[in-house]
Amino acid sequence: MVNYTKYALKDSAELESLLKDRDQLFVVACNKCFKEYDTHNEPDADTFVNLAQAQGKHITGVTKLDFLCNQCRTEKALKDAIPEGTDHIAVVACGLGIQTVADMGVKPVLAAADSLSYTGYHGMALTSKTCGACAQCYLNLTGGICPIVDCSKSLLNGQCGGAKNGKCEVDPKKDCAWEKIYQRLKDQGRLEEFLAQPVQLRNYSRVGQKEIAAYVSRIRDRRFAGYYGGVHPSERKEITEEIPLQKFPEPEQVIIPLSMHVGKPAVPIVKVGDYVKVGQKIAEQDSFISCCVHASVSGTVTAIEPHTHPNKGPGVMSIVIRSDGKDVLDDSVKPAKPLEELTPDEIVDIVKEKGITGMGGAGFPTYVKLKPNKPIDAVLLNGCECEPVLTADHRVLLEYPDAVIFGLKAIMKAVSAPKGYIVIEDNKPDAVALLQSKVAQIDNIEVRCVRTKYPQGAEKMLIKNVMGRMVPSGGLPADVGAVVDNVSTAKAIADAIRTGMPLVERAVTVSGEHMVHPANLMVRIGTNVQDIIDYCGGVTGDDITIKMGGPMMGFAISDTNVPVIKGSNGIIAVDTRHSEEEECIRCGRCVDVCPMELAPLNFSKYVDEGNAKALLAEHIRDCFECGCCQYICSSRIPLVTKIRKGKVMIREVK
Amino acid sequence: MLITELKSEEFIRSLVTGKVFIINCHGCMEVSFPEKEADALEKSFAEEGCVTGVVTTDYICNPDHLKLQLERHSAQIDEAEEILVFSCGVGVQTVADLYPKKRVYAACDTIRLPGYQGVTPLENDCGQCGTCYLNLTGGICPITACSKSLVNGQCGGAKNGMCEVDPEMECGWERIYRRLKELGRLDAMRCPTQLHNFATDEATKQCKES
């Protein structure tokens, strides 16, 4: 692998004169970028320390950081790291790293290294191809060989005439670019076309520094909007965002897993042969973190047996019900008291009894969230739907705005929160406008329109963005006075209170570029996924992936004979992403996008080394597997899989 | 990180004379690729019936990765007379190398984003000059902060602290003076005359080879 490291330690003579009359040094070194990730311990800092100590200098401390030019991380790491008595900070990094530390302005900074110049290189994959980024691509004229960087003189109108035996006169080791261009064009039969070209001029003013500065600030603005990092994958929401929710016909049979939530599976309270009605409880929750389960159709229980689960794979105990097609309601399905008369405990009980879990995907039992042991300042409803392709929550906002607001009021009452927010991304202006008009008369509920950025809807990002608070490492939203729920969950709570209907149905987006008739459907829990796909006309193409959920965090399923569960917000048919893992090149993109401000490249390294202790020190448990790092990884490392493995590793060690 | 700009629609249309295969790279410039504009243009090509296939992927600068992405499109590529690449210059060259017999066309211009080497674009800039002057300047780079890249103090042309070349830019040397004064290091300005060594590419090459 080519080493494109951006700096080299200054030579010892220069360093000696630099250190003359200077003492009490704190050393900050960058772990380098764009090179093979072979060590956590780049030797340059140690070389510098040895040299300084040989001169009798005192070193107050040494710290080695990843990507020193990342201001956000560097400032955090150095904030309390510089010991008393330090007079100078010696920085072993490229010019960017040095300036980043100097900008902190805490102590005088000594540059202990020089930047290396890689003119023309900016590819991500350490290719030997270079591009001068001249702002006027000439490759169309030259058969794809760049005259700016491949010709020593950057000539645009043919060779200089100085080449000898095909070699450049400036650098005899280099082939003459114009001979290569001639050969390529000749092979393609394009010589005539080339000779007919007008004389090319290079416009140096195209790279306007001011434009670039404006552009950089625009990117930074986007990158830091609301919270650090995140990505902007293609949304493709236009496929279904304007299609109204449609009722999926009542299925003939439903398979309802006993485990559709985080925590212990529910315990069946019906047996094979029993007749059950819609909304009847068929399994009871088993411990504090668990959730009960209800029948989504009326009919006969035909089996209680292991079945394949969309997220957990084969072997998950499930209750199979054959529908009688009559949709008979259970007696328990009746409205509760009006919200004004319900006590907080009664609301929590309804949420618990009606089997409501988080409907954004993870499936945490909602009633547990409604019993925070800390005072709550605000309830945040997540209507961001930051996953590409999915539009189910968007449709719920548009079609059930009153239920969503009612649900929010109920949650606020349950946790005694003085304030409620409905947070919606700015790619759904219709939903923002509708909800805003609906809450205009409500003092303590506000609609917050946030900039579209994945993973906006993650609870920690939402809290940071709306309340400006950071959930501490290992903490919960309640630790900073927040409760976060999905808008669909709020609708389910509203239904449970207003009609008494438990969570037996949900909105599902069926979409993706390979779905024949994309749709937004209201589907009974337990409906077979393949039936839904068939209902939507099936899929096209043979090299496709079916995922439950969105393209970023959804689970790829090989078997479509699985049921829709409480957390299934989407069924999508997308292109299979073919990739082969390559070595990490320390490009730093994963660090750049990690919303939790972690360093995923190190997780990958430590998991491969089996170093559980280092994983803990790097806060691997703070990762919520949003997949930004894997999405952006230029070496296609399956980072999420590795991180999951790492989390298992630390559990085993403890 | 770099800026990828679409060439003019008229120009891109002039490139496409027959059947065309399209490659989009959203790779490292995930935040700056003109996705919507490129998409609209490609749709209009498709409506005209001249598109044999489209691949949208990332990091096509990585030849192995590119090959993997193009494998299942080989028939479509064979059918096309031209390959139109929406990416930076590195990507276009990688495709051109993979298909030396095909006409490979660039639909974009590439502009370097200075100050960016590893992660998020910085307000700081580094000219990668090979001779770091930051020791003498309180950590403000005279190569990039001064329009003239002067290394021995101000030119004298600044007016009210603003550069004479670009009146919207602060004089880099005034900033350096201020920073050194704050740090109590004005003595650093008494250093010997600095020379800018332009021959640093050789050092880089040696380092790369070692």
Q: Are residues A177 and A305 in the same domain?
A: no
**pLDDT tens-place string over residues A502-559:** 999 999 999 999 999 999 999 999 999 999 999 999 999 888 999 999 999 999 999 9
Q: Which of B93, B96, B139 sits opposite A103 (nearest CB)?
A: B139
Do A397 and A452 share a domain, yes or no? yes
A405, pLDDT greater than 70 = yes
| Contacts B54 to A, Cβ<8 Å | none
Task: Tell me, yes or no, whether A393 and A279 share the same domain.
Answer: no
Determine, for residues B126 and A99 on separate chains, whether the beta-carbon distance falls below 8 Å. Answer: yes
Instruction: Report whether pLDDT(B112) > 70.
Output: no
Residues A432-456 have pLDDT tens digits of: 999 999 999 999 999 999 999 999 9
* Axis crossing angle, helix A392-399 with helix A487-498, rounded to the nearest 10: 50
B118 contact residues in A (CB cutoff 8 A): 6, 33-34, 67, 69-70, 96, 587-588
Distance between CA atoms of B40 and A357, rounded to whole angstroms?
A: 41
Verify that B52 and B140 share a domain, yes or no.
no
- Tell me what the pLDDT averaged over chain A comes to: 91
Please give the pLDDT value at position A18: 87
The residues facing B17 across adjacent strands are none
Query: Could you tell me the pLDDT band of residue B164, with boundaries at 50, 70 and 90?
Result: very high
- Distance of alpha carbon B190 from alpha carbon B143, whole angstroms: 19
State residue B72's pLDDT score.
Answer: 86
Kindly list the residues from chain A whose CB atom is less than 8 angstroms away from the CB atom of residue B166: 209-210
Q: Judge if A596 and A615 occupy the same domain.
A: yes
B14 and B74 fall within a common domain: yes
Q: In this model, does residue A95 exceed pLDDT 90?
A: no
Q: How far is B156 from chain A (nearest CA, A)?
A: 22
Are A102 and B101 an interchain contact pair (Cβ–Cβ within 8 Å)?
A: no
Judge contact between A266 and A284, C-beta under 8 A: yes
Residue whose tokens read 């000898």: A164
Largest CA distance in chain A: 95
Name which of A18, A96, A131 is nearest B89 (Cβ-Cβ).
A131
Task: Verify whether the Cβ–Cβ distance B28 to A234 is below 8 Å.
Answer: no
- Separation CA A629–CA B178 (nearest Å): 40
Number of domains in chain A: 5
* Predicted local distance difference test score (pLDDT) of residue A367: 94
Residue B138 has pLDDT above 60, yes or no: yes
Residue A288: pLDDT above 80?
Answer: yes
Half-sphere exposure of A593 (CA within 13 A, CB side): 26
Cis peptide before A638 (omega within 30 of 0): no
Q: Are A355 and A494 in a shared domain?
A: yes
Partnered with residue A445 across adjacent β-strands are: A420
- Hey, are the CB atoms on A578 and B69 less than 8 Å from each other? yes
Q: Is B202 on the interface with A (CB under 8 A)?
A: no
Q: Are residue B98 and residue B126 in the same domain, yes or no?
A: no
Residues of B in contact with A123 (CB under 8 A): 61-62, 88, 90-91, 94
**pLDDT above 70: percentage of residues in chain A:** 96
Q: Do A94 and B89 count as a contact with CB atoms less than 8 A apart?
A: no
pLDDT digits (tens, 9 = 90+) for A480-501: 999 999 999 999 999 999 999 9
Q: What is the DSSP string of A322-390?
A: EE-SS-PBPTT----S-GGG--HHHHHHHHHHTT-B-SSSS--BHHHHTS-SS---EEEEEE---SSS-
State residue B64's pLDDT score. 83
* Tally of residues, chain B: 210
Q: In this model, does residue A209 exceed pLDDT 70? A: no
B5-18 residue pLDDT tens: 788 889 889 888 88
Residues in chain A: 654
Within 10 angstroms of residue B197's Cβ, the number of other Cβ atoms is 11
3-class state of residue B110 by DSSP: strand
* Nearest residue of B to residue A4, measured between CA atoms: B208
Q: Tell me which chain A residues have a C-beta less than 8 angstroms from the C-beta of B110.
A: 131, 133-135, 137
| Whether residue A112 has pLDDT greater than 70 | yes
* pLDDT(A71) > 90: no
Residues of B in contact with A110 (CB under 8 A): 135
CA distance A297 to chain B (A): 43
pTM for the whole structure:
0.82
Distance between CA atoms of residues A470 and A457, nearest Å? 15
Q: Say yes or no: ipTM exceeds 0.90.
A: no
Burial-class residue B120 by CB neighbours within 10 Å (0-12, 13-18, 19+). buried
Q: What is the pLDDT of residue B119?
A: 47
* Residue A104 pLDDT exceeds 60: yes
User: Is B206 a member of any domain?
Assistant: no
Reading phi first (left if > 0) and then psi (alpha if -120 to 50, else beta), residue A390 is in: beta
Containing structural domain, residue B131: 120-190
- Verify whether the Cβ–Cβ distance A140 to B15 is below 8 Å: yes
CATH code: domain of residue B28: 3.40.50
Interface test with B, best of A69, A193, A584, A586 (most B CBs within 10 A): A69
CB contacts < 8 Å between A and B, how many?
267
- How many independent structural domains does chain B possess? 2
Q: Which of A111, A210, A216 sits opposite B113 (nearest CB)?
A: A216
Residue type, A539: V
For residue A209, being part of any structural domain is answered with no
Query: What distance in Å separates the CA atoms of residue B58 and residue A631, rounded to the nearest whole number?
Result: 10
Same domain, A154 and A63: no
Same domain, residue pair B89 and B22: yes
Please check whether residue B101 touches A, CB under 8 A: yes
Q: Which one of B100, B108, B132 has the shortest CB-CB distance to A98? A: B132
- Cβ within 8 Å, pair A125-B61: yes
Q: Distances in Å between the alpha carbon of A117 and those of A143, A147, A523, B2, B62?
A: 27, 20, 59, 17, 21
In sequence order, the β-bridge partners of residue A329 are A278
Query: Percent of chain A having pLDDT more than 90?
Result: 69
Same-domain status, A487 and A521:
no
Residue A198 lies in a domain: yes
The reported pLDDT for the residue numbered A543 is: 86
User: Residues A548, A518: one domain?
Assistant: yes
B197 occurs within a structural domain: no
Residue A589, pLDDT > 80, answer yes
Residues A381 and A485 in one domain: yes
For A52-171, strand residue ranges (E) read 59-65, 88-92, 109-111, 113-115
Q: Are B7 and B77 members of one domain?
A: yes
Which H helix or E strand runs over B68? Answer: helix B63-70
Asked if residue A25 belongs to a domain, the reply is yes
Return the residue matching tokens 């400006």: A468
CA-nearest residue to B140 within chain A is: A99
Across A72-85, b (16+ Cβ under 10 Å) vs e yields: bbbeeebeeebeee
Q: Which of A544, A626, A634, A644 is nearest to A34 (CA)?
A: A634
List, as one string, the DSSP characters of B114-150.
TT-SSSS--S------SS--TTTTTT--HHHHSTT--
Reported confidence tier of residue A380, pLDDT bands at 50, 70, 90? very high
Q: Are residues A54 and A108 in the same domain?
A: yes
CB atoms closer than 10 angstroms to residue A336: 18
Q: Is B112 on the interface with A (CB under 8 A)?
A: yes
Cα A624 to the center of its chain, rounded Å: 9
Q: Based on the fold, state whether residues B177 and B151 are members of the same structural domain.
A: yes
Q: Is residue B209 part of a domain?
A: no
| C-alpha distances out from residue A208 to A134, A348, A610, B6, B32, Å | 11, 60, 49, 16, 16
CB contact under 8 A, A6 and B118: yes
Quote the domain boundaries for residue A74: 7-115
- Claim to verify: residue A433 and residue A534 sit in the same structural domain: no
Instruction: Choose the most confident range, by mean pLDDT, from A447-456, A577-586, B64-73, B84-93.
Output: A447-456
Q: Which of A61, A96, A115 is the last residue of a domain?
A: A115
Residues B54 and B106 both lie in one domain: yes
